[in-house]
Amino acid sequence: GVALGLWRRHTALAASREDEEDKELRQRFMAPPVSGLRELRRRRRELRSRMELLIMETQAEVCRALAALDPGASFSVDTWERKEGGGGISCVLQDGEVFEKAGVNVSVVSGLLSEEAARQMRSRGKSLKAKDGKLPFCAMGVSSVIHPKNPHVPTMHFNYRYFEIEEADGTKQWWFGGGTDLTPTYLNEEDAIHFHKTLKEACDKHDLKLYPKYKKWCDDYFYIKHRGERRGIGGIFFDDVDSPSKEEVFQFVKSCAKAVVPCYIPIVKKHRHDSFTPEEKLWQQLRRGRYVEFNLVYDRGTKFGLLTPGSRIESILMSLPLTARWEYMHTPPESSKEAEILEVLRNPKDWV
């Protein structure tokens, strides 16, 4: 009888502790996780669950930091389901005082890889052995694009993701990808150094070789080939990373995700009240046009999203600005502030 009483008390305590944990997690996130708290708890030691918690936390952290800078505006929180498996949470702030459009998305999807997506992966050197032409996959990530109103506040993008594929013989292939990059309308060297230095510190905690490698990868990836220029002043970018070990790569991705707020928010605070001219606003609109060109023509994430059956188009195209402009044959005057940023976009610099 005593043993039964102790067991009951222990069970009740454990249940109330779990309820407290659930409440705390719910308050921490922007919306309930896609996989559900119970499922995440049941599989809490699995990397998939830990990654889902990390992307949920990153979403909430970034949304709260942005909302604090734009008190008149608020994020609309939109949860969606994908009938093929999984779903996501889209948080979008539009027409604020500081941000014209800021979106932070989480998606956790699973199902069977489409032929087109599998072909895209094989072209990157993945040897995927399908069973009866079927490849079960699980993909999750957090991605964000922030377009401020003021031309002196740069646009920022980040994305961190995890991918898992089960092959015909049951073996699982997994990898991580992601990055954080800055797209200023006008060059401010101090901001560029702060941004890159913060990302370098996050990388250096894990391996001193990572920052130079991923900085170069970023410069090469965000290249608008038909314009002969980069989309912005870079940052870090990596994909298909599956070594040294799952745990080590996860810890590295966690450090990068935690660096998002400190690398960007101080820059917004510094410039959000800067005065600007109609000409500077026009140049921002033209640079945004370039942003759109890269995302729609070259970006692999956009392409993958558009090729995945049942994916949510609104969330994929959230990265596009509210307004942009394309002028025929526009060339800025030599030695102007506009020409200065173009020079850096054509010839990337080492900022740290």
Pairing of strands 86-94, 99-112: antiparallel
Nearest CA among 213, 200, 310 for reference residue 256: 200
Active site residue 194: no
CA torsion 194-260-302-106 (nearest 10°) is -170
Tell me the residue ranges of DSSP E strands in 149-242. Answer: 155-166, 172-183, 223-224, 229-230, 235-241
Choose the catalytic residue: 152, 157, 196, 206: 157
How far is it, in rounded angstroms, from Cα 77 to Cα 58?
15
Per-residue b or e along 133-164, where b marks 16 or more CB atoms closer than 10 Å to that residue's CB: eebbbbbbbbbbbbbbbbbbbbbbbbbbbbbb
CB 82 within 8 A of CB 313: no
**Beta bridge pairs of residue 164:** 138, 174
Does residue 327 sit in helix, strand or coil?
coil
CA distance 136 to 159: 23
Catalytic positions: 157
